[in-house]
Structure 1
């Protein structure tokens, strides 16, 4: 039995083993999902139309429900993409990492709608310094204050990939399906200018989504050359925990959460910044850096730092000292690439007052 569902922006189709006595198709009320979900594990469910053909009768043990239904012709059709597209074969774990790494940087504002998703694109000639051999399949997201980019060697057929923006509400649905699939299992990604679809090859289950109609901004020029820049390397879990612990004290009524970072020697001190309704608090984390390096003092949005856990277990932050230059985040070691997916990020600095220590 094949089940298809849609909210007209996303579609899902799955095949379920069933004993079919009379073949047919029907469009039924979505509350059938709740009936099936609430049935005991392993319970048998029978579905049959009533005599009038206007209701579908569902039974499981003593439970029974009559759900309104229509002819299958009344159901929305499976989407057909317009224009030329590409079909890519990937491992489930690779695609999952490619989407999960930039996910925290997706914008939630509605004005710049083209930032409300993950930008998937093919880079035939990547710049020097990016790990990878030859053309790349790239995923990027930004909200204008932070940017995360992930990439992996481009699979066959990627050169035909149209620049695509996968919507924010689609990403967690796809990630949930990929998380339930063995990392090495093959999946198929099909992309046209208007529709993107993901098929789990082993089961044939397919998810499809409209893509965002818009042009993602060029962003590569924002990444600075880290050569010679002051930097520190830190355990990501320790850093995000320290900053996360300060957020209840440092978040103002206006929603700001600037956390002052001061690196000197082998210690990174993080503290709240002065504000009329902020509480003075600080914490410290051990870091690795050049023993002769000058002290570093940066203001960073604490909420953005606290969301860095998916980037890498250890991160190197490099910044040139100019408040207008974003901080560059790269994994340590630089070749850290689970499932063959490399990554890097940027965070814009927040200006802080001199002497702003609690």
Structure 2
């Protein structure tokens, strides 16, 4: 194998695929990235795969002879990152195909690799369900839900995001048991959901729950795109493949039945606050300085006698504070307490200038949503019970 490629492009590709390289590999080859050069297409493909998450990308290269080898991801990445971006990189293997030499204008480096035959193949989904998703819609859905997924591995199913496809619509949902983010998009799919021949021609809706770690990589990929490419999603036998342009992300699915989150959302509300989103965030962040000293709890209250939203925190043995915000309030007087971090997380993914906080009682779920919601975003937060 022998080729010449851009330092900048190779560095970017290595940083990308290295995110799927195991930090504690169960086999030595899983600490490596797979490099595959094709003289027919003049492309260099790079793959990282930890048996759960796989990332593959490709870049243009001048390939003199085809071949494949795996190299230590961390070592290769650090060397390439430090080479001059003004000089192309020549990469060549020896006759035995076990050692690689990297040449740049500044010098040359030799690295010992492992056979490409030892590297596990990325799972391919050739049947099952397939959809083409609008990239921007998928990015919006992931940004609006990923933050609410659980980090507790004991709650395996809740460490992911639940995606539901129906016709041209897509709904994403994530919960950690304390809050729930749901985002519905009516026109997310480029065409009606298509399925394999074993399904009926009209297609049908389907759902899949994917690990947040995998979806964060999908989000990162899409965020870096300049165009409006579509993302092809293939799902079959516990495996999902995201495919777009020269990039592939594979992920296992999370097994089990995702909670029926829709039944958690109240049908109606007796009280509501209509408030400026940025002002609300700023006030909460100031109060959070005190709330973080104790238990992260802030109290939110309002009544019909004044057009003010009161926010307060009491950190025992440290101090207390309060803020007042202009707000439109409906319903009877109420005081409800929240984990300030949960509220801030939800507010920061919204784009609306104004938000509406709705609740029924201090002990029942509250809903925060954009006032002018054109994408169907609902954020549910469970209140914190406080003693008088």
Find the counterpart in structure 2 of residue 247 from structure 1. 288
Find the counterpart in structure 2 of residue 191 from structure 1. 235
Instruction: Give the Cα–Cα distance (whole angstroms) in 1 for the partners of residues 177 and 150 of structure 2.
Output: 8
Aligned partners of 1:164 and 1:193 also within 8 Å:
no
Q: Which runs of 5+ in 1 are unaligned?
A: 125-133
The answer to which structure, 1 or 2, has the higher relative contact order (CA under 8 A, 6+ apart) is: 1
How far 1:179 moved relative to its partner? 0.5
Residue 90 in structure 1 maps to residue 123 in structure 2: no
Find the counterpart in structure 2 of residue 310 from structure 1. 349
Change (3 A) 1:93 1:351: same
Aligned partners of 2:163 and 2:170 also within 8 Å:
yes
SS in 2 for 1:59: strand
Cα RMSD between the aligned structures? 2.2
Encode CA deviations 1:100-150: one digit per residue, 9 max, x unaligned: 10111111112211100101123x5xxxxxxxxx77311100010100001
Residue 326 in structure 1 maps to residue 370 in structure 2: no
How far 1:81 moved relative to its partner? 4.6
Instruction: Give the Cα–Cα distance (whole angstroms) in 1 for the partners of residues 107 and 287 of structure 2.
Output: 51
Residue 137 in structure 1 maps to residue 137 in structure 2: no
Residue 182 in structure 1 maps to residue 226 in structure 2: yes
Find the counterpart in structure 1 of residue 265 from structure 2. 223
**Structure (1/2) with the larger helix percentage:** 2
Change (3 A) 1:147 1:72: same
Find the counterpart in structure 2 of residue 128 from structure 1. none
Moved more, 65-74 or 110-119: 65-74
For these two proteins, the number of residue pairs brought into alignment is 329
How far 1:193 moved relative to its partner? 4.3
Find the partner of 2:297 among 253, 258, 276: 258
Instruction: Give the Cα–Cα distance (whole angstroms) in 2 for the partners of residues 183 and 98 of structure 1.
Output: 18
Encode CA deviations 1:137-181: one digit per residue, 9 max, x unaligned: 111000101000011126321655643221121222111111011
SS in 2 for 1:140: strand
How far 1:233 moved relative to its partner? 1.3
Aligned partners of 1:119 and 1:216 also within 8 Å:
yes
Find the counterpart in structure 1 of residue 377 from structure 2. 343
Find the counterpart in structure 1 of residue 180 from structure 2. 147
Aligned partners of 2:125 and 2:234 also within 8 Å:
no
4+ residue stretches of structure 1 with deviation over 6 A?
Answer: none
TM-score, normalization by structure 1: 0.85
